[in-house]
Amino acid sequence: MNPITTTQVNVKRDEMPAERLRIAVIGAGYWGPNLARNFAQSPDWDLAAVCDLDVERARAVADRVGAPFASSLDEVLDDPTIHAIAIATPARAHGEIATAALGKGKHVVVEKPLADSRGIGVEMCDAAERNGLVLMADHTYCYTPAVLKIRELIELGEIGEILYIDSVRINLGLIQPDVDVLWDLAPHDLSILDFILPDGLDMSEVCAVGSDPLNTGKACVGYLTLPLGSGGIAHVHVNWLSPTKIRRMVIAGSLRTIVWDDLNPQQRISIYDRGIDLDTQSRTEANVTPATVSYRLGSMWAPALAEQEALANMATEFASAIRGRRAARTSGGSGLRVLSVLEAAAQSLARGGMPVAVEHEVPELETVL
């Protein structure tokens, strides 16, 4: 028996088939093969090369998708037929490669996180702006049908004002040699928040607490708190030490509340018409009484979601941004905002949870490429 899947597509493509763009994937480790496969299968792209310092690794990945491989980055960057590169190297190499590629006139998409520090992220965004090129963050989750639906519901006003967001992303995870659990996992949550919040990640401060109970030298359990402009709050729990796996985000609004359970493929999104309403005239500190509060206990609705590979949607959006000469939905600026919050969180963590201001000073990157 074959499974049945829906075929509806949320991410639109230009109606007229354009000439294909040519891209090279840099880095053939964990994530590179997924990028290679999706660009190879995309109607928008030709995969021009897979490149890795380890040539055999590059060749193996390239062979599997019927693409050429390249043994050096320069070879790729000097090829005038290549329009763009996708970077899937370790984060510490993102800045140098992206800046070089942008300098050679290539559009760039970068695996999350955009860089391993905010300063380097700023440089990358500057380089893209100077050269009039697209710099995109591969915030893959933002291109899943679930997150696209959440963004759509918020944009349409179905949720109302956002009251709180609570995200739990826990598992028995690999202890990373170079980063703590916040840098490893929280970029997922932060990039999603930047994508779905009407004003993006614009909070002025952040609190982070964490724990390293195994003495690994870095936090393996982390909690992140972000005040929302609306008066609400966002909270993120990331954890490498959980025996059970949970990936669950609640987006509570004044009208409805979304529960996204990413591990329930049969019902990823549930929308509850349940909540609390206050008689707004009496909204003062002194007189919230039972008489001024009412409780809504309505029905729940779980919309059907398309079965789509998020990376295919991401590849489409990258091509569309280049052709449209516009910023990508998950732009370099988005990647930079995630880094800004992460750096503030790292400082808060080091100070035992003290609130730390988030640095937002950057060029107006969203309005340009």
Q: Is 293 in the site for a second copy (CB under 8 A)?
A: yes
Half-sphere exposure of 232 (CA within 13 A, CB side): 16
- State how far the Cα of 257 lies from the Cα of 8, in Å rounded to an integer: 24
Residue 147: partners with Cβ closer than 8 Å, 6 or more residues away: 141, 192, 195, 196, 260
CA–CA separation, 10 vs 147, rounded Å? 11
Question: How many residues of this chain bind a second copy (CB under 8 A)?
Answer: 89
> Beta strands 205-211 and 21-26: pairing type?
unpaired
> Which residue's CB is nearer to a second copy, number 39 or number 240?
240
Q: Which stretch binds a second copy (CB under 8 A): 10-18, 78-86, 130-138, 207-215?
A: 207-215
End-to-end, the C-alpha distance of the chain in Å comes to 47
Cα-to-chain-centroid distance, residue 318? 14
Q: What is the CA radius of gyration of the chain?
A: 22
Give the closest residue to 48 by CA, choosing from 29, 75, 17: 75
CB 93 within 8 A of CB 104: no
Name which of 55 and 175 has its Cβ closer to a second copy.
175
16 contributes a contact to a second copy by CB under 8 A: no
Interatomic CA distance for residues 238 and 63, integer angstroms: 37
Look at the block and give the residue holding tokens 């990258």: 318
Residues in 53-82 that interact with a second copy by CB under 8 A: 63-64, 66
> Out of 217, 279, 324, 357, which residue is the one contacting a second copy (CB under 8 A)?
217
- Based on the shown chain and the rule CB under 8 A, indicate whether residue 50 belongs to the binding site for a second copy: no
Contact between 255 and a second copy (CB under 8 A)? Answer: no
- On whether the CB atoms of residues 106 and 133 are closer than 8 A, the answer is yes
Query: Closer to a second copy at the Cβ: 92 or 245?
Result: 245
* Shortest distance (Å) from residue 136 CB to a second copy: 22
Nearer to a second copy, 125 or 228 (CB): 228
**Considering the rule CB under 8 A, would residue 216 count as an interface residue with a second copy?**
yes
DSSP 61-74: HHHHTT--EES-HH
300 binds a second copy, rule: CB under 8 A = yes
Q: Which stretch binds a second copy (CB under 8 A): 9-17, 83-91, 133-141, 273-281?
A: 273-281
Q: Which of 39, 69, 260, 272 binds a second copy (CB under 8 A)?
A: 272
| Contact mark string toward a second copy, 145..184, x via CB under 8 A | ----------------xxxx-x----xxxxxxx------x
Residue located via tokens 């000097």: 78
Contact set for a second copy, span 346-365 (CB under 8 A): 352-355
> Is residue 199 within the footprint of a second copy (CB under 8 A)?
no
Closest CA to 258 of 270, 248, 247: 270
**Segment holding 324, helix H or strand E:** helix 310-324
Choices 116-124, 243-251, 338-346, 359-367 (CB under 8 A): range interacting with a second copy? 243-251
Q: How far is the CB of 209 from a second copy (least distance, A)?
A: 5
Of 6 and 72, nearer to a second copy (C-beta) is: 6
Nearer to a second copy, 81 or 284 (CB): 284
Instruction: Please state the φ and ψ torsions of residue 66, each to the nearest 5 degrees.
Output: 65, 40
State yes or no: residue 284 binds a second copy (CB under 8 A).
Answer: yes
Residue 117 is a binding residue for a second copy (CB under 8 A):
no
- Smallest gap from residue 16 Cβ to a second copy (A): 29
Among 131, 144, 167, 239, binds a second copy (CB under 8 A): 239
Nearer Cβ to a second copy (1/16):
1
Rounded Cα distance, 261 and 266, in Å = 10
